[in-house]
Structure 1
Amino acid sequence: MSSGDNSQQRRLGTRVRAQIPVRITSVDPADNFSQTCHTLMVNPQGCGIRFPRALPEGLQLRIEDLPGRGITAARVACNRPLEEGSKFWIVGIALESPGNLWCMAPVPTDWGTYTAPPKFFPMSVKYIGEDSVIRKVRVIEA
């Protein structure tokens, strides 16, 4: 945003300080890593994590070991040095699907529709909606 621009950049959900252990895994074979770290701040759109190096902006990630044993897709949004001379970085991560994946309660009022903790599904299962009805159950015996 330029200094001559008088418009305010609106954050989509107040950031809440929270140290939540998560596992960050790259889904890019060219930058292959998986590391446990902690969030520093969270909101429905993403989080900031403490990480030992800067990560390429746009790098596709998987966040695992979320509260409630959830997994979600995300991407690197930005990097900032933790403090001058520090060997750590704050890496901003944007969630592919916003929500209260952090299972925080209570949450700021501007989290709006994202106040309820999610119902997690494995990434391999497609969510078919709340109004879906199971019409027939088939049991397969081994």
Structure 2
Amino acid sequence: SFEHELISTTDREGQIEVNVKLIGARVQLALQDVIYLPTNVRPPLRVHEEGHRVINERIFDEEAERIAREVAEPMLVKTWIARGVDRESAVNVALESAISELRIGYRERIVQRVAQVSDKFDELTKHGSNDLNVVEAIERAFEQCASK
């Protein structure tokens, strides 16, 4: 959710237009990670897929908050303009637009980061078909994909 202040309200073409400035953001982050495997999967593949789960959780634990801040901060310096039938609905449209932009931006950044490390992990392990230790492969993948 966003804390905001109303900068201006104007009647335009029978609708109310508002300019809203965001002054704070409260973001609740959560991770849901589900692995789907056949019941008769080979143990090495199960271990490999668990490696992907570990990568996802580590990125969430160590990087998600920073990424959310990096996405949200530029949103706090711009003005959000929206229209509605009344002031309240126009403000709600502006805030929903901001929330949508935050969700999309955060999701894109997280997906990009997970893909970067997971692709390196798959490359190092040859998708679980070589003898490289999964824990070592995870560490190498993070080292080779150091976050900026």
TM-score under structure 2 length normalisation: 0.25
Q: Which has the higher helix share?
A: 2
| Larger RCO of the pair (alpha carbons < 8 Å, separation 6+) | 2
Rg larger for = 2
Q: Which has the higher strand share?
A: 1
TM-score under structure 1 length normalisation: 0.25
